[in-house]
Amino acid sequence: MVLIYVLGALSVLAPVVLVPLAAVRWAPAVRQSRMAERLRVAVAGLTDAFGRLGAALVVALAGCAAVVAICWPLGEALSRLEPTVDHAVFDYVHARRVDAWADLNSFVTALGDRYPLKWVTVVAAVGFAIAWRRRRWWIPLLAMPMQFVVEQYTQQILALTVDRGHPPTDLGTYPSGGCARVMLTFGTIAVLAGLTWNIPRRGRIAMVTALAVLASVEGYTRIYAERHWFTDVIGGWIFGALLLGVMVLTVLVAEGRVRTPAGPATAVPVRVATTT
């Protein structure tokens, strides 16, 4: 039983330690990588061809397709772990359930349900639209509902294609929608907040850390509340992170905040020798 409480504490402490470390050590290298530069070149080409809004739409559609292409085989691989991993974790938690702790986890895990996040989405969309009234106010008014709809239908596509079943205590299946919804809803809010106010770097890292804590705790509570298999939660974290990346890029493209790619290297003239 002690292990369950320790894992609950780790669901908070692990992202608090790891996310700032990753932001300091790895994020700068990712921004300077070849892949990031190729992405900037692709976005610049799409923007030239279709404009910001058209490029953002292409990014959203192509990104969602890529997420499905990645998470479909991932779900099939994780489903093979159900007899050995998922059943073992479920049986261990079920045999050690404490009513008070179970009630607390059931209360906390409701944060990832569609109904409360629907109202968070509406309030955030209206609030940011008002804050952006002197600029492209329609971006947050479209972005917040879009993230909600995109998560719902992309998750349903994966649930139908993988079709791995659910625990005997609930209907939750792959990938965990609660984890993905928490990441996508509050992650989109964090991006819009960063575009609305001049938040210092430490503040941005703190927002990302808080988002990671919410997603981590949501995953823990989904397992303890017996609403998902363990690997459903792992898949939900990966699915949510990928889909959030697509949503963030879509908003940045629509707002014109993607960094201009570096220009081509200056060509060096070549002298051609001639014979007389």
The predicted model gives 74-83 an average pLDDT of 96
DSSP string of 162-222, one letter each residue: H-----TT----SS-HHHHHHHHHHHHHHHHHHHHS---HHHHHHHHHHHHHHHHHHHHHH
Write down the residue that tokens 């030239």 correspond to. Answer: 48
- The DSSP secondary-structure symbol of 110 reads G
Q: What gap in Å lies between CA 78 and CA 56, rounded to an integer?
A: 32
Write down the residue that tokens 């014979």 correspond to. Answer: 275
The pLDDT value recorded for residue 135 is 83
Q: Hey, what long-range contacts does 269-273 have (CB within 8 A, 24 or more apart)?
A: none
The pLDDT value recorded for residue 104 is 96
Q: What gap in Å lies between CA 215 and CA 146, rounded to an integer?
A: 20
Q: What gap in Å lies between CA 22 and CA 15, rounded to an integer?
A: 10
Helix axes 201-224, 99-109, angle to 10 degrees: 130
pLDDT in tens, 177-189: 999 999 999 999 9
pLDDT confidence band for 74 (50 / 70 / 90): very high
